């Protein structure tokens, strides 16, 4: 279950100057996709998404962990980066396979052999 944590998602700088600005750069960039019907007009858009686990996933003993999700974007009026959404939600716990010590690093996709990576 998602819980919203912030009541107002307007730009704090513009609001302090007496202007209410809630339009962001990603909303402007996505407008042609919305008009073409390729993106839902209520789709949650943001420039950055930061997930912060509230619980230690190694100690929960469950398949999910509570995460604080902070979404940030840029004001279309003044350009200031600000938080557009903050919420808590349940996220699945996944296991990441870590190579053993001394194992040669894998070459990133697209890197040619002999480039020093693997």
Buried b (16+ CB within 10 A) or exposed e, 70-104: bbbbbbbbeeeebbbbbbbeeeeeeeeeeeeeeee
Let me know if residue 106 belongs to a domain.
Answer: no
Structural contact between residues 86 and 9, judged by C-beta atoms closer than 8 angstroms: no
Give the side-chain half-sphere CA count within 13 A for 20: 2
Let me know if residue 99 belongs to a domain.
Answer: no
Instruction: Give residue 38's pLDDT.
Output: 93
Structural contact between residues 13 and 78, judged by C-beta atoms closer than 8 angstroms: yes
Number of separate domains in the chain? 1
The model carries a pTM of 0.66
Instruction: Give residue 110's pLDDT.
Output: 57
Let me know if residue 116 belongs to a domain.
Answer: no
Let me know if residue 108 belongs to a domain.
Answer: no
Let me know if residue 102 belongs to a domain.
Answer: no
Model pLDDT for residues 31-76, shown as the tens digit of each residue: 999 999 999 988 888 999 998 888 877 776 778 888 899 999 999 8
Q: Which domain holds residue 34?
A: 3-92
Phi, psi angles (nearest 5°) of residue 35:
-65, -30
Let me know if residue 39 belongs to a domain.
Answer: yes
């Amino acid at each position: 279950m998602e819980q919203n944590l912030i009541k107002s998602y307007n730009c704090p700088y513009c609001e302090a100057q007496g202007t209410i600005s809630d339009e962001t750069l990603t909303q402007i960039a996505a407008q042609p996709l919305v008009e073409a019907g390729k993106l839902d007009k209520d789709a949650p858009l943001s420039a950055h998404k930061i997930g912060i686990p509230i619980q230690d996933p190694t100690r929960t003993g469950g398949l999910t962990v509570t995460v604080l999700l902070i979404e940030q974007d840029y004001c279309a009026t003044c350009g200031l980066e600000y938080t557009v959404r903050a919420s808590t939600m349940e996220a699945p716990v996944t296991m990441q396979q870590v190579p053993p010590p001394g194992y040669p690093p894998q070459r990133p996709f697209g890197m040619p052999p002999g480039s020093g990576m693997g």
